[in-house]
Amino acid sequence: MARIRLNQEYRNKIANRLRVHLEQEDTQEKRLYDDLKADQININDNAWAVAEKIVRRHYTDDDVEKAYYLQNKFENVSTIAKDSCFHFHYQGLKEEKDYDGNVSMQPSTIEKHFDFRLNGSIDVENNSSYSRDNDYAYALFRDELHAQEDCNPDILIEQDGKDNNPHKTKYVDNNDKYLGCNSDSKGYGKEWNDKYCLDLIGRDYCRDRSIACSEEEFQFLVNWKREKGKFVIAHYKWIKSILNQMKEIKIGLKGYKWLDEAIELANELGLDLKDHEIIRTNSTGLVIYNPKNLAERIKGMKNKEKTREQKIAERVAYMQQQEINSDNLN
C-alpha cells in the first residue's frame, strides 16, 4: 500500500486526538487536581459556617427581623440586603518601622476581604471589594464547561502571558454566560451565590460594615482562600503540562512528511491510532462514516434539550469513544 502524505488536516486531527488522550492520562498533575477538586465543597461549606457564625454574632436574627420590619414599613428605609462578601477584622499586632528604621510590633486592626461568590477573589493580599477571579469557577466547573461547544475552561491558561484578544474574549464571555458568573439570574453562579449569602444590615458597600472576629476565625478564613488558590494552581499546572506536551507534538507533526510517521508517534505516546481512523473522520478526528457512529450522530440531531447530567455524560462518552474508535471501524 502506498504511503499517505501527511497534510495539515491530518495533522490537526491527530493533534486533537492526542490532546484528548493526554487529558485522560493518569498523571501526578491530574491526580492532584482531581483530589483537590473533591475537597472543594467541604472547604467552602466549612468556611461559610465560620463566616455565618461571625456575622450572626454581630447581626443577630432578632436584629435582621427588626431591620426587615422597618424597611418594609417605611419607603425611605433601605438598610438590609443579602450579601456574600464581608470585611472581617481583629485587633492584633502589626510590624512598623520608626524614622530610624527600627522595627517594632504595634497594636493594629488587621482586616481582610472574604468573598464567597463563585467568582470571588482568591487573592489573600487583595482587600478590594470589587475584585473578581474566574479562574476558580473555571477549574471547579471544568467538566461542565468542557461539555459545551462554545466554552473553554482552560482558556485563561492557554492565553497566559498574552494580551487580550478576540479569541480569549469570546471564550471568557461564553464561559461566564454559561456559568452565570456575572449574573444573579441563572446558571451555576446563581445556585452558588444563593447558597452562600446572608442578610446583612448596613450600607451597600461591604467595606463600610467591617465585622469583628477572633484571630483564630480570621486565620481560618485566610487559609480557606489559600486552599482555593492551591486548587486553581493545580488546574493551571495540569493543563500547562498538557500544553507543553502539545507544543512538542505539533512541532513533531509539522516536521513529518508521511501519515504513518504521525501514527507511530501517537502509538508511542500510548494512543492506539490507525491511519483509517484519521482518513475517515471529520476535522476534529471523530469517526462519523462508520454506520454505528453515523446513526448516533443523526439521532443526536433530535431531542436537543438536554439536562446537565446528559451533557456531562455525552462528554464522557465522547472521550471514551476516542479510545475505542479502531474497534468500531472493524
Mean pLDDT (whole number) for 277-290? 60
Q: Is the pTM of this model over 0.85?
A: no
Mean pLDDT (whole number) for 258-280? 90
Alpha helices in 280-307 (DSSP H): 291-299
Q: What is the pLDDT of residues 19-58, one digit of tens each?
A: 999 999 999 999 999 999 999 999 999 999 999 999 999 9
Burial (CB < 10 A; 0-12, 13-18, 19+), residue 243, is: middle
Over 70: is that where the pLDDT of 157 sits?
A: yes
Q: What's residue 263's pLDDT?
A: 93
Residue type, 221: L
Over 90: is that where the pLDDT of 124 sits?
A: no
How many angstroms separate the first and last alpha carbons of the chain? 19
Of 2-16, 256-270, 276-290, 315-329, minimum mean pLDDT range: 315-329
Query: What is the Cα–Cα distance from 121 to 135, expressed in whole angstroms?
Result: 9
Over 90: is that where the pLDDT of 316 sits?
A: no
Supply 172's cell numbers. Answer: 471568557
Over 90: is that where the pLDDT of 97 sits?
A: no
If pLDDT is split at 50, 70 and 90, which confidence band does 329 have? Answer: very low
Query: What is the Cα–Cα distance from 96 to 323, expressed in whole angstroms?
Result: 61
Q: What's residue 246's pLDDT?
A: 94
Mean pLDDT (whole number) for 307-329? 59
Q: What's residue 251's pLDDT?
A: 93
What is the overall mean pLDDT for the chain? 85
Is residue 197 within 8 A of residue 74, CB to CB? The reply is no
Query: What is the Cα–Cα distance from 110 to 124, expressed in whole angstroms?
Result: 13
Q: Is residue 92 helix, strand or coil?
A: strand
Over 80: is that where the pLDDT of 135 sits?
A: yes
Mean pLDDT (whole number) for 161-179? 94
Query: What is the Cα–Cα distance from 316 to 305, expressed in whole angstroms?
Result: 18
Q: What is the pLDDT of residues 61-83, one digit of tens each?
A: 999 999 899 989 998 888 888 88
Q: Higher pLDDT residue, 293 or 35?
A: 35
